[in-house]
Structure formats: C-alpha cells, structure tokens
C-alpha cells in the first residue's frame, strides 16, 4: 500500500510540474547530529544512545523541503490531497532519524537492528528525545525552518500557502502514515487552519438564510 501511494504521489508531482511549468527540484531536510561517525547510527552509538547528547547541529543542518521550483526560484511542495482531506492532519515530513529499511535487508547487519534490542527500546528512545532540553529549545525552530522553506503546497485542488496551514510534531505510531514493524517515527503533520469562530458563525448564518430563502420560494 505504501509503495502504491508513493508511486501515485510521484505521478502527481510530474503532472503538477508539467501543468504549472515548474522544474523538478527535490530537496529533503537533512539534520546534522552530534557524535562521531560516518552516519547517524554511528554518531548515536558514540554518545551511548543518550538522547540528551544526541543533538542537532543547527548551523550545519539543512531544512529545505521542496518538490518543484518556478522560474522565479519560488519553491513548492506537492501533495496529492484534496483540500477537503486536509480538515484532518496528514503526514508532511519525517526529518528525525527513522527506521525505514527494505524488508529484504532487515536483520543482523542493519545498524538500527543491531543497535536496539527491540522496537520497544527504540520507541522509548524516540519518546525520550521529546523530553530533552535541546528538543524544548529547538523543536519549534526546526519545524518552522522546514515548512517556511517553501511557499506552500500544491494539492489536487490548487495551491495552498503555508500561512493557511497548521503544522505540528507528533510521534507517529501508524495513524498518520505507515511505519516499519512498530518502530515509531517523530513526524511533522499538517492540516488546513481552522477558520476563526466569527467567520464560521457568519457562514452558518448565510447558509441558514439561503436554505430559508429556498423554502420560501417553494
């Protein structure tokens, strides 16, 4: 199912770029972590899997997230959603370390498999990240740096600027998108911002008056 979604998502990206005259410009956030080693897992192990010491190096991290760029250099994210779908939260980005191997390569020799005894140990580590001092200090900055790195999202119904969207962090346990074998992911999700109360009241009044008008005509 995940592979089907990924394929249809890529097809939609190609369609939007062609229709809007955008160039392909694929960028994903890349957070640089403290510790020593050639990859994130080696760095994590070098600090004994201590979430307080495994911290982002903000000055060396890259937060750009985009799928397309127009002739003026404006960046866009592309998501195959109807606007009506975005009344509830959807997956936006997974910039923190995550377990996402191919099934055939999962097992002894995989750095995450070797480093953690089980998904329970790994999930406790992910949870502890959200309780660290560095997370309290930087999580909002990382979030904003990512979603403001592009101008907004092209959906199936057209463009939505990021100012009309709400973003937040969650620990995804599978409810916002597929995860691998119970290994949770620290994830950014997004939705359309709720309309202000007065606007919603006004819309209800207008709708009610329209219904009454139709009844009077009948």
**How high is the pLDDT of residue 122?**
97
Closest C-alpha among 166, 15, 28 to residue 90: 166
**How high is the pLDDT of residue 182?**
96
Structural domain range at position 91: 2-217
Distance, CA of 112 to CA of 212 (rounded, Å)? 62
The per-residue pLDDT for range 144-187, each reduced to its tens digit, is 999 999 999 999 999 999 999 999 999 999 999 999 999 999 99
Distance, CA of 172 to CA of 185 (rounded, Å)? 5
**How high is the pLDDT of residue 197?**
47
Q: Which sign, positive or negative, has the C-alpha torsion 116, 179, 62, 18?
A: positive
**How high is the pLDDT of residue 213?**
56
Mean pLDDT of 8-26: 93
Give the pTM: 0.86
Q: Is 52 in contact with 127 (CB distance < 8 Å)?
A: no
Dump the DSSP string for 133-185. Answer: HHHHHHHHHHHHHHHTSSSEEEETTEEEEGGGEEEEEEEESSSSS--BTTB-E
Distance, CA of 108 to CA of 113 (rounded, Å)? 6
Please state the domain count of the chain: 1
CA–CA–CA angle 88, 92, 94 (5° rounding): 130
Residue 218 pLDDT more than 60?
no
Distance, CA of 78 to CA of 76 (rounded, Å)? 6
Mean pLDDT of 40-53: 96
> SS3 of 91, please?
strand
Distance, CA of 208 to CA of 36 (rounded, Å)? 64
The per-residue pLDDT for range 84-140, each reduced to its tens digit, is 999 999 999 999 999 999 999 999 999 999 999 999 999 999 999 999 999 999 999
The per-residue pLDDT for range 124-144, each reduced to its tens digit, is 999 999 999 999 999 999 999
């Amino acid at each position: 199912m995940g592979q089907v979604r990924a394929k249809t998502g890529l097809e939609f990206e190609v369609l939007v770029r062609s229709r809007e005259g955008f160039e392909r410009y694929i960028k994903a956030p890349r957070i640089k972590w403290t510790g020593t080693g050639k990859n994130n897992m080696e760095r994590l192990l070098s600090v004994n899997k201590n979430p307080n010491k495994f911290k982002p190096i903000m000055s060396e991290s890259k937060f750009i997230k985009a799928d397309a760029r127009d002739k003026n250099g404006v960046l866009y994210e592309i998501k195959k959603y109807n606007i009506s779908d975005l009344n509830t939260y959807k997956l936006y980005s997974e910039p923190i370390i995550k377990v996402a191997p191919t099934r055939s390569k999962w097992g002894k020799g995989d750095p995450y498999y070797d480093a953690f005894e089980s998904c329970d140990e790994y999930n406790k580590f992910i949870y502890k990240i959200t309780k660290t001092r560095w997370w309290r200090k930087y999580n909002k900055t990382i979030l904003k740096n990512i979603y403001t790195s592009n101008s907004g999202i092209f959906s199936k119904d057209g463009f939505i600027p990021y100012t009309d969207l709400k973003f937040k962090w969650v620990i995804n346990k599978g409810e916002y998108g597929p995860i691998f074998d119970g290994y949770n992911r620290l994830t950014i999700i997004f939705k359309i911002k709720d309309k202000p109360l007065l606007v919603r009241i006004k819309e209800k009044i207008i709708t009610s008056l329209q219904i009454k008008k139709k009844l009077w005509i009948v």
